[in-house]
Amino acid sequence: MSELFEAVDALVASRSPLPPPEERKRLRQAHGLTLDEVAAALKVRRATVSGWESAKKPTEPRGPEREAYARLLKQLAELYPAPSAMEGPTAPPVPANLTAPPAPAEARTPSPGPAPEVAAPPATENTRITPDPPPAVPPTTPRPARTTGPSSTSRRPGGKKAAPAGAPTGGTDPRFENGPLAVVDVDTDGQVLAYCTGGLVLDVPAKSLPSLVEWTLKEAKLGQPRLSGPGKDADPLLVLTEAALKRYGLPTTLTEEERLAGRIPEGHKVIKQLARADWKLTKRGFGPWARIYRPATGSERACVQLCIPSWHALDSRHWGHAAQLPPAELARVLGVYASRVMTPRGSTAVTGLELMTALHPPTRASEPDADGKRHSEHNPGSLGKDPVGCAPCEAPDGHPLLKDLPRFHVRGPGEKLFEEAYDWARPMTDAECTLRHLVGIDVNMAFAAGANGLVVGLGAPTHVKNPAFDPKLPGSWLVDLSHVDLSRVKVGKEWAELDGSLLPSPFTPKGDRPEGPAWYATPTVAYAVELGYEVRPIEAWVRYDNGRYLDGWYQRLRDAYLATMADLGVGADLPPADFLAAMDGYRERDPELAIVVSAIKATVKGGLGKLRERPRGEGWRPGQPWRALSRPTWRPDIRAAVISRTRINLHRKIVKHAAFTGQYPVAILSDCVVYAAGGTSPLDFLPYREGKPLPGGFKLGINPGLVKHEGTQEVLWGEEVRERFAAPDLNLARYIKDGTVTDIDDGE
């Protein structure tokens, strides 16, 4: 009989109405559940659950998934009734499986405004629990506090709230139970507070900066576990607001002289306080991203990093308005970034480079020797702990390798490897001028996609004469590619006839056809072979010690990007039209999470740029070494290979598209391509058939390497701009997003 009842229950559930998508999302968030957790429980994909909650074009579950989903929503609705069903502005009932003993006398009451919380278990004297920061999206009903038992040996918070959507979830490492970072501020009562991730706020007893560092390391339980077995745990990060700077005797802003120096003077009273307490600063001194440490003893590290937004630590080009956010919201933004990428170590560029090292530490512990001791040894697959030299052709101008060149000598393509992103445009044809619109498409995370699966050199280069080209061998090749004719190329296994005059050369950033031998990275030369042409290198600098060093880096950043975009309502498996609709205004759904997206993108580009960092003042003169050269991660060859592959990936799609449709790009800037089209949407010129894109061509989607809509302007706008500036080949891709043209010389 029970089987019959179960069958009846399933039949009813399979036909019973489900709450609207907004309510489904509210119920999930009210219980502190992530999309991943629901998807895992129901044995479906994350994107499927996201589709069930989509406000614009929701999908409906079917079969046993619908039955289970309906059961979940029903139970959550009992725990968290809709606001209209609640009597007055009271908090929702505590679920039966959670208990809430009375709050102790020491616990402070929340500040006025937010809805009251369920009382938490006893907290220690320096712990404060406050409601989560109000989200940028419409607020959901308050969720109950998750309770944990008090700790007698640490200042563990007595209770934690479920994190808001997009907030990082706490890890299982008890050393870092309060998260990777905290924003330190001072309230109106003069109490110093540390705003952590997930809505947790700690009272800070420290009266000086040295004592703040001590408290952070001994009591705050901040930090992040290592990303790789041989690696190191991330040091705790403290973000100091202007109020905290005043409390600890630091200036709220830097003078012009201090800003240029990147630090406050060494004689500052706070630096003297640190020195008296035996704390040290790195060579960069006390600047926007200061590191305060004591020399490590064994495996124990004693280091705290500071981030000072009012000293321009959070560059607005990459972090938007993050520096102006209230402490709790700033903790959320940086916490999401830390949990999905890593705890920031400086600018997004510095963090991008540090992420490479964190995933591939240079050394590891050896197997025990005869005495049972372990020693430090090279970690296979890493760049090692010592820098390696670059080839002369890979060296940027001013490098010590070039100190014997005549003064003012300009190296040409036969002397210098010049792999850069596209900056190309051409006049429009008469046929293109009859169309009404210019539509720009942009490759998502293009340089990250270029790094995926790329074999790069790990060790020093070897010079060879008249080598046979090997597409699997990373390096720099001197070869003449001027004979490659884009009017007739191989597309797949077939030869295609194209209008080569409407295509950029794949071998130069400006799209000009090479005029003779030049230096190229391996992906560029391999593409010439792919197009059906023979190559005969004259010489090369190759790296026999190589590997896919950037794979883990790409995967970490890809996952961070996709997870954050999914939180913003843009799933990875949306149909083309739904994807375009989801991308429309996605930043306004949660402006704080949109900041994280920008920071992730900047981490990709900045990290790759750091591989070829140039001198930054420091009294440097041409021919002298600069600081970055002492890093094992100063690798201009790796940067060149990634850019080469990214540009080639884009050209391959352009050729495929031209061969199939007869359409050619009007302009290309880095990862943005502009086409003339009859309509305003990418779907007006991308050859989709029954929802499927051209194999090997452009595909709409959020995954790295796929494309999104960058912007649309009228053809008349483009012609008017070019006429106004008397520039028939002005790169319209630079202005396609919003049509605003400022300085025609501002390149990227």
Q: What is the pLDDT of residue 223?
A: 95
CA distance 383 to 549: 8
Reported confidence tier of residue 247, pLDDT bands at 50, 70, 90: very high
- Tens-place pLDDT, residues 553-573: 999 999 999 999 999 999 999
Name residues whose C-beta falls within 8 Å of residue 566's C-beta, 6 or more positions apart in sequence.
35, 46, 47, 50, 572
Token pair listed for 406: 């005549």
- 605 or 296, which is more confident: 605
Every domain of the chain and the residues it spans = 2-85, 127-344
% helix, strand, coil for the chain, step of 5 = 35, 15, 50
Round the average pLDDT of the chain to a whole number and report it: 86
Q: What is the pLDDT of residue 13?
A: 55
- Tens-place pLDDT, residues 444-453: 999 999 999 9
CA distance 22 to 28: 10
Percentage, residues of the chain above pLDDT 70 = 84
What is the pairing mode between strands 300-307 and 517-521? unpaired
Residue found by looking up tokens 């006398």 in the block: 105
CA distance 128 to 203: 6
- Residue 332: strand, helix, or coil: helix
Averaged over 111-115, what is the pLDDT?
A: 39
Reported confidence tier of residue 735, pLDDT bands at 50, 70, 90: very high
pTM value? 0.78
Name residues whose C-beta falls within 8 Å of residue 49's C-beta, 6 or more positions apart in sequence.
35, 38, 39, 42
* Domain 2-85 grouped into CATH 1.10.3470: no
Return the HEC string of 108-139: CCCCCCCCCCCCCCCCCCCEEECCCCCCCCCC
Averaged over 230-249, what is the pLDDT?
A: 96
Helix 551-567 with 327-340: angle, nearest 10 deg = 140
Please compute, for residue 663, the number of CA atoms within 13 A of its CA located in the half-sphere on the CB side. Answer: 23
Residue spans of alpha helices (H) in 545-585:
551-567, 576-583
Q: What is the pLDDT of residue 628?
A: 95
Q: Is the predicted pLDDT of residue 664 greater than 60, yes or no?
A: yes
Burial class from Cβ neighbours inside 10 Å (0-12, 13-18, 19+) for residue 748 reads exposed
Tell me the C-alpha to C-alpha distance, in Å, between residue 291 and each of 85, 235, 304, 307, 638.
51, 9, 6, 9, 28
- 566 within 8 A of 35, measured Cβ to Cβ: yes
Q: What is the pLDDT of residue 144?
A: 33
- Tens-place pLDDT, residues 306-317: 999 999 999 999
Name residues whose C-beta falls within 8 Å of residue 542's C-beta, 6 or more positions apart in sequence.
457, 461, 462, 464, 467, 470, 473, 474, 475, 476
